[in-house]
Structure 1
């Protein structure tokens, strides 16, 4: 009876600690926390969108005109560029994209940029060309388009501000609407690992969205998310529009472990069972 009582006491002494739910280490890692207080989406894939009005989408502009590569310039023009790191868009990894002076990025690297007629709401089959599309400001534009990859992005991630993630910056500089001489600038920032997309609208755009499309869509134009579609004052200067990917890379999540209290409970229980075993051994030896 003495040993049964000792065993019962050991089990009771650890029950309070061991009763704490043990974390399931095999549970799926959740997607990045979406910090927005409103916005658009989700679309069928799971993208959600917000803007700088929520305070969770930074308007920090990264000017690369002095450091980036001028990939393409002119009217209705486009050219391919190899990305500094792979980028995930709608679940597909891309290493090369085409940059178009008409305010969009296409995953179809053969796209030479002639698509001047913006289509919306998204998804919408492009007037010309194909591939998945990223539309910071799709319109009939004349522009110089720059590209630069940063191993650590100068504009921190909105969803993972404590992580040093890289980013691709595509900037449309010295931009004018066809038939208008007013110069303005804007950019798209594509984040490595978190796969976030941010559009930053610079100063000077006289239309502010009245004749353009801002949003994203997949290859095949079967899924997409529209932020702005031919709406006056929808993308004014010094604003930002952000799109959150539903499944960032798992390396961005902090390591998971068994709660400390559970570890302590198991150690106490193991020690008590060891004492019981030693007592049984000594009793047998004495007999």
Structure 2
């Protein structure tokens, strides 16, 4: 019996080890890039616009001198209690785990060991869980990750600029890919009431998305929206991606600017307009022939 147990244990070791590749290596082999500029919706309803569309500002909020230091180093994570809440995939979130490897998780026990990005989303993480926000998931090291809440966000919401929304800011300051010493900054901005999630990148990321994942997914990895992963030049310098929640707080509905229509909806509207025009033409011709 003891020998059988030993054999089973040895057989399981390669499988367990395969769940997370060695430091500096990426298990994902196929690149993916969502629709450029705009994308979605996913099954929940999230859509995105990037800074190339003019619908998503790439304004970076530097909180390195004012924010609270949460974590530093390599493969680390720590929970943060938010100064407020937001809705994420239909669940109210009041705490997030912040990790050095370029993602946030609703699993507050996540200590940050997930160094292998997964894509396209949704994808079961190689380790850990929870609903996740991926500004740049990769094997990263970071000098500091800061958090700060602003009652009135220094970067106004793109969709509700006149509402003076508050925002939560997470700033990865002086990060680098494990196999590269070039430093860069990334951040996530989460708005109250509108629940928009914005990811902003500075001008120094040497990989430009060639070995990382940017996007969202729910707890359980059944719904997700990929902006890009493992695709060269998919995360340009000084760029941003704005993920729009389908059901913002009802207090923002009145007088809110119209949200951009996703491309697939635009095509549907054009097709419907053409069909209506054809029907109207047929009715007119029939009347003329009577």
TM-score range normalised by the length of the shorter chain: 0.7 to 0.9
Give 2:171's aligned residue. 171
- Measured after TM superposition, the shift of residue 38 of structure 1 is 4.9
State the secondary structure of the residue aligned to 1:142: strand
Give 2:113's aligned residue. 114
Deviation track 1:230-284 (CA, whole Å, cap 9, x = no partner) reads 00110121100010000000111228xxxxxxxxxxxxxxxxxxxxxxxxxxxxx
Give 1:140's aligned residue. 139
User: Normalised by the size of structure 1, how large is the TM-score?
Assistant: 0.75
Counterpart-to-counterpart distance in 2, 1:140 and 1:252: 38
Residue 73 (str. 1) matches residue 55 (str. 2): no
Q: CA RMSD in A?
A: 1.3
Give 2:55's aligned residue. 56
Moved over 6 A (4+): none
Give 1:131's aligned residue. 130
State the secondary structure of the residue aligned to 2:254: coil
Segments of 5+ residues of structure 1 without an aligned counterpart are 1-36, 256-287
Give 1:208's aligned residue. 208
Give 2:88's aligned residue. 89
Give 1:98's aligned residue. 97
State the secondary structure of the residue aligned to 1:162: helix
Give 2:159's aligned residue. 159
Give 2:251's aligned residue. 251
Counterpart-to-counterpart distance in 2, 1:254 and 1:200: 28
Counterpart-to-counterpart distance in 1, 2:46 and 2:215: 11
Give 1:222's aligned residue. 222
Change (3 A) 1:200 1:38: closer
Counterpart-to-counterpart distance in 1, 2:254 and 2:151: 20
- Rg larger for: 1
Counterpart-to-counterpart distance in 1, 2:211 and 2:37: 24
Deviation track 1:24-63 (CA, whole Å, cap 9, x = no partner) reads xxxxxxxxxxxxx951100000000110000000010000
